[in-house]
Amino acid sequence: MAETVPVRCPVCSRDHLYAPTPYPCACGAPLAPPMLRGAPPERITHRTWTDDWVTVGCQECGRQDQWPQPELGCPCGTVLRIPVRPVSAPLPASPAATSARAFVRPAPVPLPRTVTAARPTFRPVTIRTARDAVTAAARYLKWLGFRDVVQPEVRPSSGIDLRGPGLVAQVDPSTRPATLRDVECLWLNGLNISAASVFFSLAGYAEDATYRADRLGIPLFVLDLTGSPQPVNGPADELISTGA
């Protein structure tokens, strides 16, 4: 299993426990970026695609490769970059590192205990482009139970990236937190066709946007570069719990 590290949000002082998602190396061994314990997280206010990757070395075969930088979405809307130990730094001995080699599949996205029926493991899509972000969100919505989720070839002026029966969803791949206006526009689009609204963002949400989404019942998710959405408000937790 991937190591777990405590993380405190520098904005709202919430405490979290974070474990990076492991992915299989080319040799088949599970591989996750090693966490740098004791280092403070960095608030993400600006993104560049080239800076969001880290080098990770496999203890099994010695291969080094590029992996998405670990990130954590706080319920306050802040997105945090979790420090990673440089690949050249010595690794501490750990019995868990040996036993973890028996697992070759990515760890499933954790679900609340209220889920009554187990879902299959969610398989994310690594995000390198804005289009990848939309694809990752579409796959996640289908995993939640929404049917016939489609994305237009050209993004419409309404900003709605994904549609399905009774569903509209927006995916914001920009480097700025989603705003109050973004959330309200999505809600109005859903209201006009009596559809549920879901929002995905790479850079998190402004505080007033999160507050408004809570009042409107709009699930908010933060996408990290592994393509694994994380809930950041109550409606998102409820959607994961109940499904579509």
pLDDT attached to residue 40: 87
In sign, the C-alpha dihedral spanning 191, 193, 194, 200 is negative
Statement: residue 98 has pLDDT above 50: no
φ, ψ of residue 157 to 5 degrees: the values are -65, -25
Contact (Cβ atoms closer than 8 angstroms) between residue 54 and residue 35: no
φ, ψ of residue 48 to 5 degrees: the values are -130, 135
CA 136 vs CA 53, 92, 142, 204, 214: distances in Å: 18, 34, 10, 16, 23
DSSP state of 103: -
196-216 pLDDT per residue, tens: 999 999 999 999 999 999 988
47-94 pLDDT per residue, tens: 665 556 778 888 888 888 777 778 888 888 888 888 888 776 444 443
Contacts of 152 (CB under 8 A, 6+ apart): 161
Average pLDDT, the chain: 79
133-153 pLDDT per residue, tens: 999 999 999 999 998 998 877
pLDDT attached to residue 54: 78
